[in-house]
Amino acid sequence: MVLNFFILSSFAFILFSCGPQDEKTSFTEDAVEAKVIPRGEELFLKNCASCHGNDGKLGNSGAKDLSSSRLPDEEIRTILEEGKNAMPAMSILMEQSSDMDSVIAYVKKFRK
């Protein structure tokens, strides 16, 4: 009797836990930003702010005003990887590819 109850309980649990889900189970954009942006801010302030400024508008050594930039992510990535004009390649300073994504997300926050 106990064994039958256990088997039926297990079957019911499996049946209901594997059913369709109406709620989204993926990460929301806000959840991703909560993790990505702080790392991007850390890397930016450490490696980029001396020329671009804390708000992206400083422009030392010919650095561009990041608040007026409308470059797509891939072009930003290329500039970070290869450098441009006086800006050196930043890829050697990024420990992981996710670091590059974090910096890109953070830099886009400066846009007006």
Tell me the per-residue pLDDT of 10-57, one tens digit each, with 9 for 90 and over.
555 565 555 555 444 444 566 556 667 899 999 999 999 999 999 999
Residue 3 to residue 50: CA distance in whole angstroms: 70
Q: Quote the pLDDT of residue 28.
A: 58
Half-sphere exposure in the Cβ direction for 2 (13 Å, CA): 0
Question: Is the per-residue pLDDT at 107 higher than 50?
Answer: yes
Which pair of structure tokens corresponds to residue 5?
Answer: 């109850």
In CATH, the architecture of 31-108 is Orthogonal Bundle (1.10)
Identify which of 108, 97, 103 has the alpha carbon closest to the alpha carbon of residue 47.
Answer: 103
Average pLDDT over residues 84-92: 91
Question: Is the per-residue pLDDT at 110 higher than 60?
Answer: yes
pTM over 0.95: no
Average pLDDT over residues 70-93: 93
Residue 71 to residue 77: CA distance in whole angstroms: 10
